[in-house]
Structure 1
Amino acid sequence: MSETITLEAHGEPFDVYLARPPGEPVGGLVLIHEIWGLVDHIKDVADRYAAEGWLVAAPDILSHAGVEPALGAELFAIRTGADEEAKAATQPRMREAMSAAHAPDYAKWAVAALRATVDRLVEEPGVGERVAVTGFCFGGTYAFALAAADDRIRAAVPFYGTAPRSDRIANITSPVLALYGRHDPALIDALPDVTKAMADAGVSFESVVYPQAGHAFFNDTGPRYDVDAAADAWRRVLAFLREHV
């Protein structure tokens, strides 16, 4: 069962897709979307987690920056399509659409919105303090950020996200399982420094790198989908969440 609810952060409303499990929840899960926003793919992933027993809250934090789900879906279709001319033509539109999401004030609002989402989850019957976070790309970066900003998070699972600065990593109290594709150069090049910063901060950090996969390997609606890596990641994530939440 699913529904869309509205929450507020700093006085600004945002929607949350809430997917409920068929019975008593094993815990609450904040699911953070990719740079394309709260598109149908993310809702499908939320429903999959709900089928495994999780009460899932997937907030739409990009509409606040001007990228509503319909626009995100349109841009995704163009960027992952075969029409190279259309891809080139949409570059300025992409930059304009995503520019607000890179502003410092936006990041502060987004983390506040994610914490408000946690507030809602902990109030749900059967959840209590058993809350985790996961996310993809943009959402993986914010999964790291939420873990650093909210000590109620018991487990964090960022998919191909950018870790915070070392001083923010020191605020993470939950174990972290981070998943990457080998063919994702910027993140893979940064991974040794991230691993060291996590160790220096005393954070329980495990990284998994899939040798044949690239960025966005879990998104089964896009051309980078890697069925083997996605299936293995799904098994690992479910086991990790069950163990720590």
Structure 2
Amino acid sequence: MTALWQGVGMGEMMELGSGSAAVHSYVSRPEGTVRGGVLIIHEAWGLVGHIGSVADRFAEQGYLAVAPDLLGEDGITDDVATELGEQLFSPDPEKRHTAQPKLRELMSPFRSPDFAAKASARISSCFEYLESSAGVNGRVAAVGFCMGGTLALSLAVREPQLRACVSFYGRADFSAADLTAISAPVLAFYGDQDTDLIGALPQLEAAMATAGVDFMARTYPGTGHAFFNDTNRLAYNKEAADDAWQRTLDFLANTLS
């Protein structure tokens, strides 16, 4: 499968970093004063149009936004992502069953031993680009969705200069000792129907508290995984998504000011 969305919004596609840490990224620039930088980390679907539109929304709010393509040629097109997403979230069990082999094929790159290392290096390239960009002045936040939410939390663990972290339905498989490395405040969003993550949330909250992390979790009733993705008509919940977006903007205004 070939990637991807090629950047048809406000911004442009650029290659950031060098060597094995080089990564094609969508960069969306604000008009006027830069309020900070936002590193947007995509879901398992790759750098699709939905993520580009999120980058543009941040740029419209005054943030320099960068969304790396962590899957490259292993990504999928918008059409395939939409079709597979609707099958996975379908109320029809047969459609969900049919989608599982396709999902396993899509997830295969993530099982590569070097995927995490490459993704981390490429995310760091984007972080360094943002941190050194004019007007950002070191004010960089990470915002991730699903797989990207997990990677945003990972960045918070290993990058002491990160100023804020927002994780939409991401996992945090870290010990309390690992979490002590986090210096940024963390805002996390969940749907209460996302049973695996909700089941693990009390333990995560306790670990974050033990580690002394400024951690805030918001759970939306009647919503499941991917509730923010407005291209997935079965998962998207407008009320929850709008509330989470406003809370994210408020959070960034407070942490990046």
Question: TM-score of the superposition, structure 1-length normalised?
Answer: 0.92
> Is the contact made by 1:9 and 1:109 (CA closer than 8 Å) also made in structure 2?
no
Q: Tell me the residue number matched to 2:83.
A: 77
Deviation at 1:80, TM superposition (A): 0.6
Is 2:246 the counterpart of 1:235? Answer: yes
Distance 2:76 2:24 in 1: 11
Question: Which residue is 2:142 aligned to?
Answer: 133
Q: Does 1:199 align with 2:209?
A: yes
Residues 36, 76 of structure 1: 8 Å contact kept: no
Task: Find 1:68's aligned residue among 75, 96, 120.
Answer: 75
Aligned CA distance change for structure 1 residues 88 and 182 (closer, same or farther; 3 Å): closer
> Does structure 2 retain, via aligned residues, the 8 Å contact 1:9–1:112?
no
Distance in 1, matches of 2:76 and 2:41, equals 13
User: What secondary structure is seen at the aligned counterpart in 1 of 2:205?
Assistant: helix
CA apart distance, 1:159: 0.3
Unaligned runs of 5+ in 1: none
Q: Given residue 75 of structure 2, which amino acid in structure 1 is its aligned partner?
A: E
Q: In structure 1, what is the Cα distance between the partners aligned to 2:145 and 2:18? A: 22
2: CA distance, partners of 1:162 / 1:110:
16
State the identity %: 43
Q: Within the alignment, does 1:225 sit opposite 2:236 as a pair?
A: yes
Match of 1:151 among 160, 170, 176: 160
Counterpart position of 2:183: 173
C-alpha distance in 2, partners of 1:10/1:195? 38
Residue 214 (structure 1) aligned to one of 199, 224, 249: 224
Q: Deviations over 1:143-182 (max 9, x none)?
A: 1011111111100000000013113322111000001110
| Distance (Å, rounded) in 2 between the aligned partners of 1:102 and 1:76 | 23
Residue type matched to 1:235 in 2?
A: Q
Deviation at 1:124, TM superposition (A): 1.1
Deviations 1:84-134 (A, max 9, x none): 766644532321231221334211111111111011111211002100000
Which sections of structure 2, spanning at least 5 residues, go unmatched? 1-9
Instruction: Pick the structure with more strand per residue.
Output: 1
Q: Given that residues 163 and 255 in structure 2 are in contact (C-alpha distance below 8 angstroms), is that contact kept between their aligned partners in structure 1?
A: yes
Equivalent position of 2:33 in the other structure:
24
Q: Contact conserved, 1:36 with 1:73, CA < 8 A, in 2?
A: no
- How many residue pairs get aligned? The number is 242
Aligned residue identity for 1:137? C
Q: Does 2:64 align with 1:58?
A: no
Asked whether the 8 Å contact 1:133–1:155 carries over to 2, the reply is: yes
2:22 to 13, 38, 41: 13
C-alpha separation in 1, matches of 2:47 and 2:76? 5
2:199 is matched with 189
Answer yes or no: is the 8 Å Cα contact 2:142–2:152 preserved in 1. yes
Following TM superposition, the consecutive aligned residue runs of length 4 or more in structure 1 with deviations greater than 4 angstroms are: 81-90
Q: Does the Cα contact within 8 Å between 2:82 and 2:231 map onto a contact in 1?
A: no
- C-alpha contact 1:39 1:73 (8 A) present in aligned 2: no
RMSD: 1.9
Aligned amino acid, residue 115 of structure 2: Y
1:3·1:18 contact (CA, 8 Å) conserved in 2?
Answer: yes
Alignment of 1:108-119 (within 5 A): 108-119=117-128
Is the 1:121–1:127 Cα contact (8 Å) retained in structure 2? yes
Report the secondary structure of 2:222's partner residue: strand
| Counterpart Cα distance in 2 of 1:144 and 1:27 | 19
User: Which letter maps to 2:172?
Assistant: A
Verify the 8 A CA contact 2:74 2:109 in the aligned structure 1.
Answer: no
